[in-house]
Amino acid sequence: MPTGVALRDAREQLFDAAERILLRDGPNALTSRAVTTEAGCAKGVLHRHFTDFDAFLTELVRDRTGRIDSEAAALCASAGSGSVAGNLTGALTALFESVAVAIIGLITARDELRARLRRDRPSGVPVLTEATAMIASYLTAERELGRIAADADIDTLALTLIGSGHLLFAGRETAPPKAADVRKVVTTVLAGVAREPQS
């Protein structure tokens, strides 16, 4: 796109372009030139909206992390329906098949990005922290409905599910894990606390 031609919702187009690059080529391929080329715009467009490339990446992470809130609401709304293992399998798959794993890799790879994110959040890893809170909220709702044991350690269960889910999906150069593999992890983690058939 020639310089001077306005992009509608330029920020979102740039974020979407960055997401495509992350998913296709990984964090090391993400440069300002790659983003603007992918978005089909002049390089100056990115710098009109962001002070520098790390500011762009910081806002990208915040934007994509913010999307977990709607996923969390949908997961909590599913409490009491379907099976707990099925709901969690679906949630973990949707989370980690998205750009989440690549975002985590991006945060790990860029020191300045980590430093900027730490200003707002002194602990935890963006995406993983929000995802853990999402799973904990859902398990709490299921515990209130009696489908998870009353004495279940929700925080540890949520951490275990997110950590295990991340490890299942991270670093794969082939297809993502099968739903049966994700479900096996979920049912194993829930084995002592589930109050419904897990099959």
| Domain boundaries of the chain, sorted by first residue | 10-49, 61-190
Residues contacting residue 66 through CB under 8 Å, at least 6 positions apart: none
Q: What is the pLDDT of residues 132-164, one digit of tens each?
A: 999 999 999 999 999 999 999 999 999 999 999
Residue 52 has pLDDT above 90, yes or no: yes
Question: DSSP per residue over 123-171, as a string?
Answer: SS-TTHHHHHHHHHHHHHHHHHTTSB-TT--HHHHHHHHHHHHHHHHTT
pLDDT at 1 (0 to 100): 41
Residue 9 is predicted with a pLDDT of 85
Span 75-81, average pLDDT: 96
CATH 1.10.760.10 matches 10-49: no
Predicted confidence band of residue 4 (pLDDT cuts 50, 70, 90): very low
Q: Domain 61-190: give its CATH architecture.
A: Orthogonal Bundle (1.10)
A 10 A CB-CB count for 185 gives: 20
Beta-carbon contacts of 15 under 8 Å, excluding residues fewer than 6 positions away, are 59, 60, 63, 64
Rounded CA gap, 106 and 22, in Å?
Answer: 8
Same fold? 10-49, 61-190: no
Separation of CA 133 from chain center: 12
